[in-house]
Amino acid sequence: MTVAFHIRRPWPGPAQRPAAGDPSVRWRIRLHHTCGTWCAEDPPHRPRALPWWKASSYTPFWTLAGREFYFPALVVVWHREPGGRDGLTVCGRRVQRRDGTWRWRRGWRLHVHHWRIQLPPLQALRRHLLTRCAWCKGRSRRGDAVNISHQWNGPRGRWWRGEPGLYHRDCSAISNAHDTCTCDVPVIGRRDYGECGMCGRFRPYGVTPERLARARALAVIPRGSRTPTP
């Protein structure tokens, strides 16, 4: 699926994203063009704000007097490709400009029969009321959402039962640590990753000593808990 439209809330909330990575930016509501390697074949130009008359030039992250604000979406309209195909492989089409470059036609955005509507506020309310963390069984709250999945296509529960297989962010890390092999000398069939013959847990590929030390620290937290035992 591909996002076709956002309908954003008319009032902002506080955001924790820095002003485009530059703390000196105190006022910004529009996106800015920044020159890079992608401009190598373009005529000479300078960095500047995108055109004010285009709605796509405005970012949902606003910087006002050095403070960051964000306009969250009330409605998200998704375009679902027919037949389960990859996004824009059927409905999307590229056309060549006179200068030889390519662009996507935007007609696919108006395929109403392919739309899927998402309502993030109702989704957040449903998760708060019905969804529980698969590790600690806690609720989803603002600033501590239950929205981390360990699989691409997890099971989808009935709307009155919540969503199974979701975690808090820290609970996800603790759960992964309990499933990770932390043996000093693992017995694995492959060169440096796979199921350990000693503990039966999985040793990830390319694990570093720092990651291994963190996994050991998290693995001592009891199952179902988010804090170490005092």
Mean predicted confidence (pLDDT) in 42-68: 86
Q: What is the pTM of this model?
A: 0.71
Q: Express each pLDDT in 117-175 by its tens digit.
A: 999 999 899 999 999 999 999 999 988 999 999 887 776 767 778 888 899 999 999 99
Assigned domain for 161 exists: no
In a domain, 192, yes or no: no
pLDDT over 80 at 5, yes or no: yes
With a cut of 70, say whether residue 61 has pLDDT above it.
yes
Q: What percent of the chain has pLDDT over 70?
A: 90
Task: Let me know if residue 218 belongs to a domain.
Answer: no
Where does the pLDDT of residue 17 fall: very low under 50, low under 70, confident under 90, or very high at 90 and above?
low
Task: Give the three-state DSSP class for 124.
Answer: helix
The Cα-based distances of 101 to 94, 95, 96, 105, 212 in angstroms read 10, 9, 6, 13, 47
Cα distance from N-terminal residue to C-terminal residue, the chain: 46
Task: Assess whether pLDDT exceeds 60 at residue 20.
Answer: no
- Taking the C-alpha atoms of residue 13 and residue 225, their distance in angstroms, rounded to an integer, is 31
Let me know if residue 64 belongs to a domain: yes
Note whether residue 47 is domain-resident.
Answer: yes
In this prediction, residue 36 carries a pLDDT of: 83
Domain count, the chain: 1
What is the arithmetic mean of pLDDT over 32-58? 84
Residue 50 has which token pair?
């995108």
Average pLDDT over residues 2-20: 82
Residue 115, pLDDT score: 95
**Residue 206 lies inside a defined structural domain of this protein:** no
pLDDT value of residue 18: 55
In a domain, 126, yes or no: no
How many CB atoms within 10 Å of residue 223?
Answer: 9
State the pLDDT confidence band at 80, using cuts at 50, 70 and 90: very high
Asked, for residue 198, whether it belongs to a domain, the answer is: no
- Quote the pLDDT of residue 230: 56
- What does the DSSP assignment read for 173-196? HHHHHHTB---SS--BSSSS-EEB
Q: What domain range includes position 103?
A: 1-118
Best CA proximity match to 6, nearest among 60, 46, 51: 60
Grade residue 114 by pLDDT with cuts at 50, 70 and 90: very high
